[in-house]
Amino acid sequence: MTTPHNAAPAQPRNSRSLRRGLAAAALLAAGALAMTACGGDASGANNKDGQAGADAAAAKDASDAKIKVSAKDGSTGASINGTNVKVSGGKLTEVTLKRVDTGEQVSGTISGDGGSWKPDAQLERGTPYRIVANAKGRKATENAKFTTVSPTNSFIGTFTPDNGKTVGVGMPVSFNFDKAITNKKDVQSHITVSSSSGQEVVGHWFGNQRLDFRPQDYWKAGSKVTMKIALDGVEGANGVTGVQDKTVTFTIGRSQVSTVDMNTQTMTVKRDGKVFKTVPISGGSAEHPTYNGQMVISEKFEETRMNGDTVGFGGEYDIKDVPHAMRLSSSGTFIHGNYWGSPSVFGRSGTSHGCVGLQDNKGGGGNSNGKWFFDNSLVGDVVVVKNSHDKTVQPDNGLNGWNLSWEDWKAGSAV
């Protein structure tokens, strides 16, 4: 029988079964090819090994560099000192740290070996930052956004003396904290003060916000003092942590201790244990005597205003240009130049409201005892007043803890 040219060829009876078989074979072949592309074959026994091979290949293609940012992404209360980036298995190529609120970029430095980065300066408290770090090995990038510890939840201690200063033998290390400290032991134990002289140095608390350090006797002349502050993250009170981490060094200069005798109205200046000069003075009057005791020069002013209103004397005096003034107490005791008093009072009578006056010139020019003593004094030098009719200055009135016995000083330590 002839088949028309436009008619479909006759199909075998089992054609549908054949198509199904071919489709199944095609699927099996595709599966085999897919598994082979991942490094395995079609057998179930080798499938596990094939996936392991795929994972190994992926890991090989990933970067060897592992970047770690000290502050976790989204964290609050991050350190203002300890923020850093470190990398293993590669080298940092670029780190960018910016304030989120202003967009201001914070400068920083990558270490010579490329293994770490840190900011060049302390970060601000309570401030959001964003950091992006890139490294090469095979390229890797890490991003983090964090907020530094807030002023409410942190404390800072302002301290004296400053780093690199040369000071007198009476200069204590003095901290004033901006919040009350209840965990005194931990705070004190994270501040260490040592001297090249080998003198034992002990801390003493005046209340909850001031901590001073000193040896039993004055510092040895020429010694180097090192203060290590490791308060970052130390809890000072419930929910309040420290943020400081630094080392400070200062030098003790020559020894100078000056003794003011109110009976004779004279001051004997001793330099390295020997009499350097004897100077006539005019101390406090009978109505307003000068404190007795060991007082440390804490500030020097070539010229300053002295107003009796600021220290409870009403309008008794207001001198706008007192020359060569050096502070001895927080309450207003100074040793200073006096140009307004008669030259006859110096070395003979007390005429001040409690200060120690030295003859001087208006404007501080020329040669005078006031200028001489100012030029020859350091912050930290000691002025001892004796034979006054007043009481001894309180040890926390200025830097005057030397008026406590060593036993009483150590009793105020928290460690």
Q: Which residues contact 97 (CB under 8 A, 6 or more apart)?
A: 83, 105, 106, 108, 119, 129, 130, 131
Cα–Cα dist 100/255, whole Å: 52
Q: What is the mean pLDDT of residues 138-153?
A: 92
pLDDT at residue 41 above 50? no
Cα–Cα dist 50/331, whole Å: 83
What does the pLDDT look like over 131-140, one tens digit per residue?
Answer: 999 998 777 8
pLDDT at residue 12 above 90? no
DSSP type of residue 407: H
Secondary structure of residue 49 in the 3-state scheme: helix
pLDDT at residue 28 above 80? no
* Pair of tokens at residue 190: 């994270």
Q: What is the mean pLDDT of residues 2-15?
A: 42
The residue behind tokens 């209360």 is 77
Cα–Cα dist 280/275, whole Å: 14
Q: Is the peptide bond before 161 cis (omega within 30 degrees of 0)?
A: yes
The residue behind tokens 């300890």 is 82
Is 97 within 8 Å of 79 (Cβ atoms)?
no
What does the pLDDT look like over 263-294, one tens digit per residue?
Answer: 999 999 999 999 999 999 999 999 999 999 99
What does the pLDDT look like over 47-95, one tens digit per residue?
Answer: 555 555 555 544 444 457 899 999 999 999 999 998 999 999 999 999 9
Residue with the bigger pLDDT between 37 and 230: it is: 230
Please spell the DSSP secondary structure of 66-80, one letter per residue. Answer: EEEESSPTT-EEE-S
pLDDT at residue 4 above 80? no
What does the pLDDT look like over 297-355, one tens digit per residue?
Answer: 999 999 998 876 666 666 665 788 999 999 999 999 999 999 999 999 999 999 998 99
The answer to pTM > 0.95 is: no
How many CA atoms are closer than 13 Å to the CA of 328, on its beta-carbon side? 26
Q: Which pLDDT score, from 0 to 100, does residue 240 have?
A: 96
Q: Which pLDDT score, from 0 to 100, does residue 23 have?
A: 41
What mean pLDDT, rounded, does the chain reach? 87
Q: Which amino acid is at 75?
A: S
Q: What is the mean pLDDT of residues 150-176?
A: 97
Q: Which pLDDT score, from 0 to 100, does residue 317 have?
A: 59
Q: N- to C-terminal Cα distance for the chain? A: 118
Q: Read off the pLDDT band of 44 (50, 70, 90).
A: very low
Task: Encode 190-206: b = buried (16+ Cβ within 10 Å), e = exposed.
Answer: bbebebeeebebbbbbb
Please spell the DSSP secondary structure of 212-253, one letter per residue. Answer: EEEESSPPPTT-EEEEEEE-BT-EEETTEEE--EEEEEEEE-
Q: Which pLDDT score, from 0 to 100, does residue 281 have?
A: 97
* Pair of tokens at residue 172: 């204590």
Residue with the bigger pLDDT between 29 and 305: it is: 305
Cα–Cα dist 209/190, whole Å: 15
Task: Encode 8-30: b = buried (16+ Cβ within 10 Å), e = exposed.
Answer: eeeeeeeeeeeeeeeeeeeeeee
pLDDT at residue 252 above 80? yes
Cα–Cα dist 373/267, whole Å: 10
pLDDT at residue 25 above 70? no
pLDDT at residue 168 above 90? yes
Of 283, 270, 250, the closest CA to residue 390 belongs to 283
Cα–Cα dist 220/255, whole Å: 8
Q: What is the mean pLDDT of residues 356-360?
A: 97
Q: What is the mean pLDDT of residues 200-225?
A: 98
What does the pLDDT look like over 220-251, one tens digit per residue?
Answer: 999 999 999 999 999 999 999 999 999 999 99
Q: Read off the pLDDT band of 30 (50, 70, 90).
A: very low
Please spell the DSSP secondary structure of 74-132, one letter per residue. Answer: T-EEE-SS---EEEESSEEEEEEEEETTT-PEEPEEE-TTSSEEEESSPPPTT-EEEEE
Q: Which helix (H) or strand (E) holds 261?
A: strand 256-261
Inter-residue long-range contacts of 400-409, CB under 8 Å, 24+ positions, other chains counted: 400/293, 400/294, 400/295, 400/296, 400/328, 400/329, 401/172, 401/204, 401/206, 401/212, 401/214, 402/170, 402/214, 402/218, 402/294, 402/296, 403/293, 403/294, 404/204, 406/216, 409/202, 409/204, 409/214, 409/216
